[in-house]
Copies of this chain bind each other. A is one copy, B any other.
Amino acid sequence: MPRPRSLTQGQIAAAALAVIDRDGLAALSMRTVAGELGMSTMALYRYVGDRDELEGLVVELVLDGVDASPPPGATWQERITVLAGRVRERVGAHPGVVPLTMTHRHRSAGILRWSETVLGVLAEAGVEGPERVVALRGLLSYLIGAIQLEHLGPLSGEGTAAIAGLPRAEFPRMAETAGHALLIGAEEEFHGGLAIVLRGIAART
């Protein structure tokens, strides 16, 4: 009977994501998103309860875009690598939302499906019971940390600069390591770390 809604939550989320992608996370506000949609600020509150919920929708939009279907791959390690890569790729396409993903991760049905698929692959690999819980959480921990390190770590090269300027006498290993670090790309680093975790799961006692 009443007036129909003119926008879906998906359109709201898309507008917010557009603001973040264009002007950065700091530019996200109820005003900017409303402006992006051509509505007044308060009209937005007919669609979302508060700013927090808006952020949740953005994360949902990004994370639900992750393909959770069982991936190709000869071994279970390859399959999990594909699955992890999908998350990294999708989130990496919108670096601004990285800080939001942690707090709103649980709202995404897509990421739950993704977890379900990962658990299936782990089961294939013979990982069972509590061991499988620990493996999944370990994998998730690495994935979260690695993505954050990749996108929030340098922060305009501040970190790299700090390490480069370290007193070599007091930090001999760091200085040496910084040299090696230059030879390694982000991609290689991510997959190298992931390979460590996968070897660790495979080599369970």
Contacts and interface: CB of A to CB of B under 8 A. Distances in A.
Interface of A is mostly: helix
A141 B102 CA distance: 14
Contact of A177 (B133, B141, B143, B153): B133
Nearest to A158: B106
Interface stretch (A8-16, A29-37, A197-205): A197-205
A147 to B, nearest CB: 8
Nearest to A202: B203
A46 interface: no
Nearest to A146: B141
Interface string A127-155: 00110111111101111111011001101
Contact of A145 (B130, B142, B189, B195): B142
A149 B193 CA distance: 18
A24 B93 CA distance: 32
Contact of A193 (B107, B123, B134): B134
Nearest to A103: B152
A92 to B, nearest CB: 14
A199 B189 contact: no
A173 B120 contact: yes
Nearest to A151: B102
Interface of A: 99, 102-103, 105-107, 112-113, 115-116, 119-120, 123, 129-130, 132-138, 140-146, 148-149, 152-153, 155, 158-159, 162-163, 166, 170-174, 177, 180-181, 183-184, 188-189, 192-193, 195-204
